[in-house]
């Protein structure tokens, strides 16, 4: 135990009493600037290298500046009245000084600072003891004061704040937007795949860390440099891990003192803007280089990091990143997240759980903002935390697919441990608050009524019983169009996704041998027809000529039908589902070659794979609810048939089991008829629920126990 701790134990009240006997003295390192907010003057005060700043009335700041550690409260009262014309009693000034005693606005002697540091260290150690693994949300690795470095660098980079560079940057970002719009599907899908971290090795993860650190360093440096541009200082910058993800931080809080509203907004948006500018230059490199080059591939990875994903994350106001601070500055509500969360939490505790909690007053116009923001921000924050767990799970899947869930579950517990403890503590508080009232309310008649309601809830058939199974969609009518005769594709009249009617030509073929033979037969037929007419006129050899004419007429008819087959038509009305049909143009197709497939997508049916143990409940005519993976709302249908024999499930509908002890059952196919709304497509898949009947909770439990015993005891 050192001497400070010994004094703290022996004389715990001494520091407080000694502080009360000293006259207040203003901290000389404070920086302050007067601003106009909502039409009223306000002074923003900040102590460098500390967190947060203070908003004071001009009169309050004028009084604080009079604190020199030597003037008595009576002298301060007289001096303040002379300078401001407003009387403030010595007792009021004493109370005001006591309110400021725990802030950074008043000077503290080195001894008091040391004691405060020791107390802070104690609190940090106590907090660390609560969790053996510390706080995963923010693990600081290193920090430094970059003010001197930024001051030296500023003359070389101040051109980025000129008008010509701003116009040039807008042009570059416009070009980047044009390229992104042209390749949107490709870039967006690659961004989603890049940040899911599936199938990434250690080299890929190390590469991501290095590139991400490079980008984030420039992002945070842009905040600091912009703060420096508007006259502020930057005294803290560092590297930390947020749930094991690499991050930089930069303290640009002096921008709130030296900058006006739009200058503060410029400081906030500087990080996002510099990333967009970097991404625009990198896009030019990617666009101008050939695929396969190292610089081309490297530039594309930087686009994925600096482009859509990071910008959307930073500009989102639901988490405390750049977008959040921009929103609070625009709406003029500081600490929006904390204040809205505290308001909604206290309101729920008071009005829903009837706890004796005070609800802070919030103007009526702001209540809706607080409620909506608190709910959206909370939901989004938890979604981000689950996303972190999902990313870790995806990384581990590459190395241990069978056990990746275990460390992911452990990380989930570490992340949500404090929140679970808060929930448990809250439930205990609710129980302790309502315990006596609950005991008084539970009279014998009420206990009997609750018991009766519980029995009814257990035995009334209220709950629907379903058969669940995977399904895939297929059209009721489907036709394969083949080449009836051999030929070369001369013309194509349809394409993938085009709706065609029955009898509409799809493809026209050319067969020179067939066409020459048909022309020769047609010429022979016309000659035989002329001979038959001549024989009729001369009344000689009429029978032979007529027989020859009929023979060539039949040959001509047959050749005509063969020629008609060169124009391939759709046998049904539907949609062409064959991809890249135009690739057949100019190719030779032997007889019987598949040309295209046409499916009637207006009438679809589902093939539901029902497991063997559920076949006893399957009935034709049962209603079915189909939840497709591509839609939010389910599709209704009816069972119209059940296959007489089992069949294997289509590949891709169910994950293949990796354990020998888990064997999939046999499946019977139930055909479900449904009406397509024009949005359903072939091979869409999802989960089906076939309605059986309504059962009670007791019925479910009894059936499960009976089946479990009956399968082994018979």
Which H, E and C letters describe 655-667, residue by residue?
A: CCCCCCCCCCCCE
Per DSSP, what are the bridge partners of residue 249? 238
Beta bridge pairs of residue 575: 499, 599
> How far apart are the two ends of the chain, measured CA to CA in Å?
74
In sequence order, what are the beta bridge partners of 606? 473, 672
Query: Can you give the pLDDT at residue 682?
Result: 82
- Assign 14 a pLDDT band (cuts: 50, 70, 90): very low
CA distances for 524 relative to 56, 517, 542, 555, angstroms: 110, 11, 17, 10
Whole-number Å distance between alpha carbons of 123 and 118: 9
CA distance 666 to 658: 17
Quick: pLDDT tens for 387-423: 878 877 777 776 776 677 788 888 888 888 888 888 8
Q: What is the pLDDT of residue 562?
A: 83
CA atoms of 445 and 144, how far apart (whole Å): 70
- Where in the chain are the domains? 3-130, 139-328, 333-441, 516-559, 601-710
> For residue 422, what are its two tokens?
């808060």
The dihedrals phi and psi of 45, each to the nearest 5 degrees, come to -120, 140
Q: What is the mean pLDDT of residues 538-560?
A: 79
Which is it for strands 54-56 and 245-250: parallel, antiparallel or unpaired?
unpaired
With 70 as the cut, is the pLDDT of residue 117 above it?
A: no
Cα–Cα distance for residue pair 211/270, rounded to 1 Å? 19
- The reported pLDDT for the residue numbered 622 is 93
pLDDT band for 130, please (50, 70, 90 cuts).
Answer: very low
How much helix, strand and coil, in percent to the nearest 5, is found in the chain? 55, 20, 30
Query: How many of the other CB atoms lie within 10 Å of CB of 527?
Result: 13
Model confidence over 273-311: pLDDT tens digits?
A: 888 898 899 999 988 888 778 888 888 888 887 777 667
Report, as an integer, the average pLDDT of 196-209.
Answer: 71
Q: Which of 125-129, 377-381, 617-621 has the lowest mean pLDDT?
A: 125-129
Please state the rounded mean pLDDT for residues 561-566: 85
Q: Given CA atoms 96, 97, 100, 105 in this order, what sign does their dihedral have? A: positive
- Domain 601-710 fold is Elongation Factor Tu (Ef-tu); domain 3 (2.40.30)
| pLDDT attached to residue 67 | 87
Helices and strands in the chain, H and E counts: 22, 20
Predicted local distance difference test score (pLDDT) of residue 355: 86
pLDDT score at 233: 84
List of E strands, 222-334:
237-242, 245-250
Per-residue pLDDT, 460:
92
pLDDT of 198: 63
What pLDDT digit, counting tens, does each position of 33-88 carry? 777 766 778 888 877 777 667 778 888 888 888 888 888 888 888 888 888 888 88
Give the pTM: 0.58
Reply yes or no on whether the pLDDT at 134 is more than 80.
no
Given pLDDT bands bounded at 50, 70 and 90, which one contains residue 515?
confident
Mean pLDDT of 498-506: 88
Helix or strand (DSSP H, E) at 41: strand 40-46
| 210 pLDDT above the threshold of 60 | yes
Please tell me the distance from the alpha carbon of residue 304 to that of residue 312, in angstroms, as a whole number.
12
CA distance 402 to 333: 48
Q: Which pLDDT score, from 0 to 100, does residue 4 have?
A: 32
Round to whole Å and give the CA distance between 232 and 535: 116
127 band by pLDDT with thresholds 50, 70 and 90: very low
Looking at residues 91-117, what average pLDDT do you find? 72
- Token pair, residue 186, equals 């490709």
Q: Tokens 């005519």 correspond to what residue?
A: 621
Token pair 């989102």 is at which residue? 316
467 compared with 320, residue with greater pLDDT: 467
- Using pLDDT thresholds of 50, 70 and 90, give the confidence band for residue 692: very high
pLDDT value at residue 164: 92
Q: How far apart are CA 617 and CA 468, in angstroms?
A: 11
d(CA 187, CA 564): 47
Q: Is the pLDDT of residue 119 over 70?
A: no
């Amino acid at each position: 135990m050192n001497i400070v701790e010994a004094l703290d134990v022996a004389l715990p009240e001494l520091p407080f009493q000694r502080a009360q006997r000293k006259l207040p003295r203003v901290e000389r390192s404070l920086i302050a600037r007067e601003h106009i907010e909502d039409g009223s003057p306000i002074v923003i005060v900040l102590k460098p290298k500390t967190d947060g700043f203070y908003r004071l009335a001009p009169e309050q700041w004028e009084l604080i500046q009079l604190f020199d550690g030597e003037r008595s409260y009576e002298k301060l009262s007289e001096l303040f009245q002379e300078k401001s014309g407003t009387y403030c009693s010595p007792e009021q000034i004493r109370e005001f000084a006591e309110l400021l005693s725990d802030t950074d606005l008043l000077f503290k002697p080195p001894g008091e600072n040391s004691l405060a540091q020791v107390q802070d260290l104690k609190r940090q150690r106590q907090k660390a003891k609560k969790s053996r693994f510390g706080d995963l949300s923010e693990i600081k690795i290193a920090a430094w004061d970059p003010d001197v470095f930024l001051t030296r660098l500023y003359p070389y980079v101040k051109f980025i704040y000129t008008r010509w560079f701003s116009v040039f940057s807008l042009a570059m970002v416009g070009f980047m937007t044009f390229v992104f719009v042209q390749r949107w599907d490709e870039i967006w899908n690659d961004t989603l795949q890049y940040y899911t971290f599936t199938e990434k090795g250690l080299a890929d993860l190390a590469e991501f860390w290095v590139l991400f650190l490079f980008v984030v360093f420039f992002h945070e440096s842009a905040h600091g440099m912009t703060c420096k541009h508007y006259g502020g200082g930057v005294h803290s910058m560092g590297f930390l891990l947020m749930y094991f993800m690499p991050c930089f931080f930069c303290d640009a809080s002096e921008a709130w003192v030296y900058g006006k509203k739009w200058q503060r907004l410029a400081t906030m948006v500087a990080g996002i803007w510099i990333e967009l500018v970097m991404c625009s230059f990198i896009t030019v490199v990617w666009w101008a280089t050939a695929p396969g080059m190292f610089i081309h591939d490297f530039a594309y990875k930087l686009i994925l990091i600096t482009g859509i994903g990071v910008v959307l994350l930073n500009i989102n106001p639901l988490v405390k990143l750049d977008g959040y601070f921009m929103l609070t500055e625009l709406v003029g509500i500081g600490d929006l997240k904390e204040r809205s969360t505290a308001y909604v939490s206290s309101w729920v505790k008071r009005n829903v759980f009837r706890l004796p909690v005070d609800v802070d007053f919030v103007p009526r116009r702001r209540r809706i903002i607080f409620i909506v923001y608190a709910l959206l921000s909370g939901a989004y924050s938890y979604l981000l935390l689950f996303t972190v767990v999902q990313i870790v799970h995806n990384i581990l899947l590459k190395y241990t697919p069978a056990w990746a869930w275990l460390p992911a579950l452990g990380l989930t517990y570490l992340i949500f441990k404090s929140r679970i403890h808060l929930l448990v503590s809250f439930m205990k508080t609710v129980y302790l608050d309502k315990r006596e009232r609950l005991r008084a309310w539970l009279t014998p008649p009420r206990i009997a009524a609750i018991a009766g309601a519980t029995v009814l809830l257990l035995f009334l058939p209220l709950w629907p019983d379903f058969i669940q199974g995977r399904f895939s969609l297929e059209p009721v009518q489907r036709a394969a169009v083949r080449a009836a005769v051999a030929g070369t594709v001369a013309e194509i009249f349809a394409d993938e996704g085009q709706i065609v009617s029955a009898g509409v030509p799809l493809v026209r073929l050319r067969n020179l041998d067939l066409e020459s033979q048909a022309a020769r037969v047609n010429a022979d037929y016309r000659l035989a027809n002329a001979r038959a007419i001549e024989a009729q006129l001369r009344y000689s050899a009429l029978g032979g000529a007529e027989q020859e004419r009929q023979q060539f007429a039949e040959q001509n008819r047959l050749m005509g039908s063969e020629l008609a087959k060169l124009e391939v038509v759709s046998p049904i009305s539907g949609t062409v589902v064959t991809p890249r049909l135009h690739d057949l143009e100019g190719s030779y197709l032997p007889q019987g070659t598949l040309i295209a497939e046409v499916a009637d997508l207006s009438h679809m049916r589902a093939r539901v794979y029902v497991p063997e143990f559920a076949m006893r409940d399957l009935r034709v005519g049962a209603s079915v609810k189909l939840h497709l993976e591509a839609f939010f709302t389910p599709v209704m249908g009816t069972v119209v048939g059940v296959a007489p024999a089992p069949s294997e499930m289509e590949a891709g509908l169910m994950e293949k089991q990796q354990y020998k002890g888990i064997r999939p059952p046999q499946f019977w196919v139930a055909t479900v008829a449904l009406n397509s709304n024009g949005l359903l497509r072939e091979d869409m898949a999802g989960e089906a629920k076939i309605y059986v009947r309504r059962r009670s909770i007791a019925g479910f439990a009894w059936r499960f126990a009976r089946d479990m015993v009956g399968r082994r005891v018979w």
